[in-house]
Amino acid sequence: MPLFSLFHSKWTRRLLSLGSLLVLLPMLWACRTGNTAPLNHPIPGSQGGKASVGASCLCPTQQGSVGQWTSWPSQAKAGAGKAFWTTWGDGRAEMNSYNAKIERYGQSRTAELVLIYVTEPMNRQTWIKDDAVSGKDRISTLKLNISLKFKTGLYPYSVMTSVFSPVDHWRKERFSPAKMTLSAQDWCGHVFASVWPSQQSYLHQLNSYFSSEGEKRSIVPVHGEHLYEDALLIQLRELSGAFNGGKNWKGKVIPSLWRNRKKHRSLLPQDATLTRKATTQDGKKVHQFTLTYTRRNFTQTYTVEAGGAQRMLGWINSDGEVLSLNKSLRLPYWNLSSPSDSSYRKKLGLQ
């Protein structure tokens, strides 16, 4: 029988179909039961540390399981309180622009940086914004979008980090994040990273245009006291009580997604301390918090208003970055999308 005829014969097609089915059945069963055996492998730069990486099973039965994996308590220890909701339940967002000098490729760059804070409901089963969700699955969060734009000579960067922190007291420290994401675009390509914290670990997913990084998903253990650096821009404002009871802090910190991204490091917990002091700036009382990574020779000092709106007035770090508050507005920005609304950009100090 000619080779062409052999591949197109009825019996050959049946045998190939049977073989495909025998290969697919175990994969489908793994998806149905959730039994996707984890793989242990060393993470680059982790000194032999390992993370558990699940097989990529994208069947519908596993979609929406993030909320179950992150194992948040069945109910909060306490609510955010009337004082919090008096400000943050007004249907507006707080937008703060900063005079910014940031570092990229070892050089200082002038940047446009805006912090956007707003409350919104999320579904605890998916940790996705959901205005329709109700009951125990509805979690009110304070969302922070960190919008960063700058140029490196010819080509521009656009970076957005988002932090979603439940406003009620769920974890040991208030405003502990439930989800964090990063998207970064430049003319070379774009990168997306996401983190879902659990009690003593976090799920980290990375999608990168670099072949050395590719697409990765890892579960990283983190034991004892730990914080997420990106969430400090919410937590250090102390919108529902003093951070860490007003005391200094010591433990593990998961670094900023963007700074970690710039250095192409694996996202691993680092030994750190966080100290505080009361002082004054321009004749007004402020709180200063200094984050120190004890093994990375990096420090970052945040300055926060001691009263009033308790805004983040700025921060400086050992990379030479300096950010100071420029303008602040409270507006429902999502309703201001017509060409005539561009005047609000000037009010916020943006071009």
pLDDT tens sequence across 200-231: 999 999 999 988 888 999 999 999 999 999 99
Per-residue model confidence (pLDDT) at position 231: 98
At 99, list the tokens. 């005079």
Rounded Cα–Cα distance for residues 40 and 55 (Å): 11
Per-residue model confidence (pLDDT) at position 74: 83
Per-residue model confidence (pLDDT) at position 162: 98
- Main-chain phi, psi angles of 247, to 5 degrees: -110, 165
9-34 mean pLDDT: 45
Residue 20 has pLDDT above 50, yes or no: no
Per-residue model confidence (pLDDT) at position 11: 52
296-314 mean pLDDT: 97
Per-residue model confidence (pLDDT) at position 105: 95
Rounded Cα–Cα distance for residues 61 and 32 (Å): 6
74-132 residue pLDDT tens: 888 898 989 999 999 999 999 999 999 999 999 999 999 999 999 999 999 999 999 99
Q: SS3 for 28?
A: helix
DSSP category for residue 200: S
291-320 mean pLDDT: 96
Residue 39 has pLDDT above 90, yes or no: no
296-304 mean pLDDT: 96
Q: Which amino acid is at 247?
A: K
320-336 residue pLDDT tens: 999 999 999 999 999 99
Residue 15 has pLDDT above 50, yes or no: no
Rounded Cα–Cα distance for residues 207 and 210 (Å): 9
Query: With DSSP H G I counted as helix, E B as strand and the rest as coil, what are the percentages for the chain, rounded to 5?
Result: 20, 45, 35
122-157 residue pLDDT tens: 999 999 999 999 999 999 999 999 999 999 999 999
Q: SS3 for 184?
A: strand
Who has greater pLDDT, 54 or 188?
188
At 33, list the tokens. 């039961």
